[in-house]
Structure 1
Amino acid sequence: MDTFKLFSWNVRQGGGKRIERQLNEIKVINPDIIALQEMTIHGISKYRAEQKNLGYHYVIDTFELFQGSTELNGPRKYGLLIACKWPLRILAPFDIPWKEKVLGALIESPFGLIEIYNVHIPPGSSNGWIKIDTFEGIYDSLSTVCNHHRILCGDFNSPQLETNNGTIITWGQRMAKDETWRIPKWGERWDKGERNVLEGLSEFDLNDVFRLLYGFSKQEYSFFLKNRSNVYPRRFDHCFASSSLNPVEFNYLHELRENKLSDHSAVEVLFQPTIHKK
């Protein structure tokens, strides 16, 4: 095996027929590692069973990890899942307010150990500073040197915009009357929290794979934010990875969203590791 495929998707899980259609799409795509966000307690058992039937014998989820918790309701009712064709084990939760919003695993792949983190960062519009607490916790946990491969993927609900000249606009910024982007006093911590993950983790060999491959001249979107009659395209779904994994292809699978299987486009990344790490 020279390559492997990662598939990451906010499934916005619904009823039985929808789950079956989602699973059928995953079967066709045939990834080696699957990271799903916005799972529900009602559909997780079917997902786990069917994925094992498809050859993903190693499946973990946050409902299993936080079994018995009475807090996982309301905005915290959605869970995460990682499925893999290779052995894996759950890693310790991050120090964040809602610990179920990051699911980590250590995978024993043919290319060496892969540390993977599947995340679903809460939107700030409905959860306030919980979003930035989560960004800060992710950065604090991953801003370290790692001796094996690493992947960070999922739904980040950020950034606000990306420009063709390579500028990232966070949700801590506001457009002034002269149409320039400014950071108000209240937004300084917010901007830093988002930016540290979106840009800062590159200092620790966690690079934005899409931008690494295509630069800023190519614009893409994975979600459409709706406000009354206005629709705003956003690239909320990301994959950051170690350079040793040598990503060679990155695709947003829009047809999954267009076919109403979710309100998010899925992420598909092909890696061709050049280094085998222990």
Structure 2
Amino acid sequence: MRILSWNVNKPSNREGRIDEQIAFIDSRDVDVLLLQEVRHGRDLKWADYWRDQLAEIGLAEIEDSLDWAAELASSSVPPHDDIGHDNGHITAVNREWDLQLNDQLIRGRLETADSSHFATNFPEKILVSEVDTGGETVELWNIRAVPGNSWGEEKIKIFETVYNRLTDAAVRPRILAGDFNSPDTELADGQAVPFGYSKDPQVRQRYVNAELNILKGLGHLGLVDVFRAEHGYGDLAIQDTSWKTKRFDHIFASESFAVDDCYYDPEGQEYSDHAPIIADLVV
């Protein structure tokens, strides 16, 4: 199973931009695709174009949060009227498999859960689905944590929502991937340095905990950092980062999966400001 996770950086309406990204994806022989920051383009129908073009290259089983983002974008209810909500996620798998949205896991719980632990004003940034490969059912979490320097607490709310929902759910074959906008840096011994350390002391520990729970705290759920499982630790070379000199994009997978390879593909930065992360897993 080849997995590609990529922040496509909200494609503009520049002619050919989406086509270039589709061609790149097609060239990578992908089985499971997780895209973040896909602009829905309510009036320009970019969402429909993405769906049609992915189906053309064989990734015909598709779930996305684009309609949900568009619905929130049209809301006059604060704070959504000031957020924009111009993009969401796409998860797609090859046409031979069955993909189903797990809407209740996030949307339903967000409507009823304690807002101090589960609320996020960016629910479209957490897309959960399930793929049936014919021999295994795998839960797919496609997430993006919005930048803390732009949205402050909202980044942490996304991490808290994901972590608590994962912790509450039964352990099962699972892949968690996306643009985490974290960590700030990683040390050669494997320590992740979160952005939370730069926050005001009154909120610092909450921010640090939220980041580290995702980056380093998923072992009790049987989830491992696939890149680190393949390459170990040590200093990062520039080709081992996904955005400028930072490793913001991640794939975590259940430890039951064998890792054949995992790498960042710098060619993808010709079509986005992020390099996609690609992993070959044996399910």
8 Å contact from structure 1 (residues 40, 79) kept in 2: yes
Q: Give the direction of change, closer, same or farther, for the CA distance of 1:102–1:139 in structure 2 (3 Å limit).
A: same
TM-score calculated relative to the size of structure 1: 0.85
In structure 2, what is the equivalent of residue 179 of structure 1? none
In structure 2, what is the equivalent of residue 91 of structure 1? 102
In structure 2, what is the equivalent of residue 197 of structure 1? 214
**In structure 2, distance between residues paired with 1:238 and 1:147:** 20
**In structure 2, distance between residues paired with 1:31 and 1:84:** 8
**In structure 1, distance between residues paired with 2:169 and 2:90:** 26
Task: State the shift of 1:144 in Å.
Answer: 4.6
In structure 1, what is the equivalent of residue 130 of structure 2? 106
What secondary structure does 1:173 align onto? helix
Task: Specify which of 213, 224, 229 is matched with residue 230 of structure 2.
Answer: 213
Correspondence 1:81 to 2:81: no
Task: Return the letter of the residue paired with 1:149.
Answer: P
- Work out the number of aligned pairs and report it: 253
Instruction: Please state which structure has a larger fraction of its residues in helix.
Output: 2
Task: State the shift of 1:104 in Å.
Answer: 0.6
**In structure 1, distance between residues paired with 2:69 and 2:40:** 12
Q: Give the direction of change, closer, same or farther, for the CA distance of 1:24–1:248 in structure 2 (3 Å limit).
A: same
In structure 2, what is the equivalent of residue 20 of structure 1? 19
Q: Which is further off, 12-21 or 132-141?
A: 12-21
8 Å contact from structure 1 (residues 132, 190) kept in 2: yes
Q: Give the direction of change, closer, same or farther, for the CA distance of 1:218–1:112 in structure 2 (3 Å limit).
A: farther
Task: State the shift of 1:204 in Å.
Answer: 0.6
Q: Give the direction of change, closer, same or farther, for the CA distance of 1:106–1:171 in structure 2 (3 Å limit).
A: same
Task: Return the letter of the residue paired with 2:241.
Answer: Y
Q: Give the direction of change, closer, same or farther, for the CA distance of 1:55–1:162 in structure 2 (3 Å limit).
A: same
| Residues 73-93 of structure 1, C-alpha deviations (whole Å, 9 max, x = no match) | 745221100011111110125
Q: Which is further off, 63-72 or 122-131?
A: 63-72
Task: Specify which of 56, 59, 63 is matched with residue 59 of structure 2.
Answer: 56
What secondary structure does 2:196 align onto? coil
**In structure 1, distance between residues paired with 2:196 and 2:277:** 26
In structure 1, what is the equivalent of residue 114 of structure 2? none
In structure 2, what is the equivalent of residue 234 of structure 1? 246
8 Å contact from structure 1 (residues 161, 169) kept in 2: yes
**In structure 2, distance between residues paired with 1:183 and 1:68:** 34
**In structure 2, distance between residues paired with 1:130 and 1:9:** 21
* Identity in percent: 29
Task: Specify which of 120, 126, 135 is matched with residue 144 of structure 2.
Answer: 120
Instruction: Please state which structure has a larger fraction of its residues in strand.
Output: 1
**In structure 1, distance between residues paired with 2:130 and 2:249:** 22
| Residues 215-245 of structure 1, C-alpha deviations (whole Å, 9 max, x = no match) | 2215121002xxxxxxxx1110000100112
**In structure 2, distance between residues paired with 1:125 and 1:67:** 24
In structure 1, what is the equivalent of residue 34 of structure 2? 35
8 Å contact from structure 1 (residues 112, 148) kept in 2: no
8 Å contact from structure 2 (residues 69, 85) kept in 1: no
**In structure 1, distance between residues paired with 2:247 and 2:223:** 18
Task: State the shift of 1:68 in Å.
Answer: 3.3
**In structure 2, distance between residues paired with 1:90 and 1:142:** 16
In structure 2, what is the equivalent of residue 252 of structure 1? 264
8 Å contact from structure 2 (residues 171, 222) kept in 1: no
Task: Return the letter of the residue paired with 1:205.
Answer: G
Task: Specify which of 249, 255, 275 is matched with residue 265 of structure 1.
Answer: 275
Task: Return the letter of the residue paired with 2:102.
Answer: L
Correspondence 1:140 to 2:139: no
| Residues 52-85 of structure 1, C-alpha deviations (whole Å, 9 max, x = no match) | 1111221111123456332467452211000111
Q: CA RMSD in A?
A: 1.9
Task: State the shift of 1:146 in Å.
Answer: 3.6
Task: Specify which of 8, 11, 15 is matched with residue 11 of structure 1.
Answer: 8
Task: Return the letter of the residue paired with 1:221.
Answer: T
Task: State the shift of 1:115 in Å.
Answer: 0.1
